[in-house]
């Protein structure tokens, strides 16, 4: 298996903010580029493509059922993605590194926060699903994190979202959670919350 990822990139001058984008199941490296450009129009953007195919749908790690992760592959994917992000940061020397993931992309990003929180300065987790209790991580202290979620999401049950938010809070992260009344879809009010979060980072 390749040691890196195929990825889309919007390059700017060295030293600019670096924004990583992680797509959801069935997406690809291009899905979130437009959103990334709206959120941070002057950022260097890097969006990797998931390297696992589930019936033709790209993902970042394997699962055995809805909400049932292949934990060995989850660990593999986390280690590989951490190395990818570290290499991108070393190459571009950004002023700040921010990451945003949706659904499966939010899950791989959450795993990075559990294990290598020093890699990014802030993170946006859109509709994450973490069906296990993460280990303690002191490196999350004061880390800026936004979770967005749907009150009627059939894929990411609200109690698990609340548990994840409580976990980040217990680790000392500067956690915010933004809810909409829909399901797993991305809604305008969710995008507004993300824009506000990102704008505060750049203030």
pLDDT at 13 over 90: no
Least confident of 3-17, 34-48, 173-187: 3-17
User: Is the predicted pLDDT of residue 8 greater than 70, yes or no?
Assistant: yes
Q: Which value, in Å, is the radius of gyration of the alpha carbons in the chain?
A: 15
pLDDT band, residue 115 (cuts 50/70/90): very high
Structure tokens at 184: 């797993």
CB atoms within 10 A of CB 146: 23
Q: What is the pLDDT of residues 62-104, one digit of tens each?
A: 988 777 898 999 999 999 999 999 999 999 999 999 999 999 9
Residue 166, token pair as written in the block = 């409580």
pLDDT for the residue 112: 98
Predicted pLDDT at 181: 96
Distance of CA 182 to the CA centre of its chain: 20
| pLDDT value of residue 1 | 42
Give the range among 42-46, 47-51, 69-73, 134-138 with minimum mean pLDDT: 69-73
The Cα-based distances of 129 to 106, 109, 153 in angstroms read: 8, 11, 11
pLDDT of 123-136, one tens digit each? 999 999 999 999 99
Domain map (residue ranges) of the chain = 7-202
Q: Which residues are tagged catalytic?
A: 103, 153, 184
Q: What is the pLDDT of residue 2?
A: 53
Task: State the average pLDDT for the chain.
Answer: 94
For residue 153, pLDDT over 90 is answered with: yes
pLDDT at 5 exceeding the cut of 80: yes
pLDDT at 7 over 70: yes
Q: What is the pLDDT of residue 9?
A: 96
Report the candidate in 186, 111, 202, 110 with the shortest Cα–Cα distance to residue 148.
186
Quote the CATH superfamily of domain 7-202.
Alpha/Beta hydrolase fold, catalytic domain (3.40.50.1820)
């Amino acid at each position: 298996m390749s040691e890196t990822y195929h990825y889309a990139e919007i390059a700017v001058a060295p030293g600019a903010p670096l924004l990583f984008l992680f797509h959801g199941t069935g997406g690809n490296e291009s899905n979130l580029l437009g959103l990334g450009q709206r959120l941070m129009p002057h950022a260097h953007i890097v969006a990797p493509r998931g390297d696992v195919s589930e019936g033709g749908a790209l993902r970042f790690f394997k699962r055995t059922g809805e909400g049932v992760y292949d934990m060995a592959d989850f660990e593999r994917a986390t280690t590989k993605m951490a190395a990818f992000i570290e290499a991108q940061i070393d190459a571009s020397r950004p002023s700040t590194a921010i990451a945003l993931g949706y659904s499966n992309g939010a899950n791989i990003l959450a795993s990075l926060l559990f294990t290598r929180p020093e890699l990014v300065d802030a993170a946006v987790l859109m509709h994450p699903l973490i069906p296990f209790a993460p280990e303690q991580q002191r490196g999350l202290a004061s880390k800026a994190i936004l979770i967005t979620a749907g009150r009627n999401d059939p894929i990411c049950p609200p109690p698990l979202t609340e548990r994840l938010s409580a976990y980040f809070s217990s680790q000392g992260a500067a956690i915010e959670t933004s809810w909409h009344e829909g399901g797993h879809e991305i809604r305008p009010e969710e995008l507004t919350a993300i824009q506000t979060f990102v704008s505060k980072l750049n203030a």
